[in-house]
């Protein structure tokens, strides 16, 4: 098999620190990086990356609940599970009682914010898990009769 090489695009096999490789394009240079999910993407040069090396990027997220909203500052590389822990302090809901939705999809606790596209000033919707909410309502309206552990009376 013959490999064709464009005159405008030539690959360079040089590796830089941090797993970033480069390629020359028409006099310019493209930097590539390997994301935590294993995907090779073009490295973005932005305001957030312009800071000192090793500095974590903080983003502000607006979390909307049924009755109000909260503005939170969190690291872009945090997970949705870590966001739930922060929200548990503000909303008094335990992390397993929360459901976080971003772009119409419920997100798992181990998903990273930056990997699903959460950026500065984005909105995340927090809902209380309906099964746990129903269990709380049923648990608060039922009392147990002393002497018969299997019989319950609704109040």
pLDDT in tens, 124-149: 999 988 788 777 777 765 555 555 55
Q: Which domains does the chain have, with CATH numbers?
A: 9-43 (no CATH), 58-134 (3.10.20.90)
Question: Which 8-state DSSP code applies to residue 80?
Answer: H
Contact yes or no for 123/152 (Cβ under 8 A): no
Q: Which long-range contacts link 107-112 to residues 24+ away (Cβ below 8 Å)? A: 107/80, 108/80, 109/79, 109/80, 109/81, 109/84, 110/79, 110/80, 110/81, 111/79, 111/80, 112/36, 112/77, 112/78, 112/79
101-121 confidence digits (pLDDT tens): 999 999 999 999 999 999 999
The structure's pTM equals 0.55
């Amino acid at each position: 098999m013959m490999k064709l090489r464009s005159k405008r695009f030539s690959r360079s096999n040089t590796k830089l620190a941090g797993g970033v490789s480069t390629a020359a394009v028409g006099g310019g240079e493209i930097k590539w990086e390997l994301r935590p999910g294993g995907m090779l993407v073009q490295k973005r040069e932005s305001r957030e990356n312009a800071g000192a090396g090793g500095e974590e990027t903080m983003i502000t997220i607006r979390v909307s609940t049924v009755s109000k909203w909260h503005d939170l500052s969190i690291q872009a590389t945090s997970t949705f599970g870590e966001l739930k822990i922060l929200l548990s302090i503000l909303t008094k809901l335990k992390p397993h009682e929360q459901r976080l939705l971003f772009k119409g999809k419920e997100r798992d606790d181990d998903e990273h914010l930056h990997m699903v596209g959460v950026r500065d000033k984005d909105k995340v919707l927090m809902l209380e898990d309906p099964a746990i909410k129903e269990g709380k309502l049923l648990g608060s309206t039922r009392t147990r009769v002393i002497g018969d552990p299997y019989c319950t009376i609704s109040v």
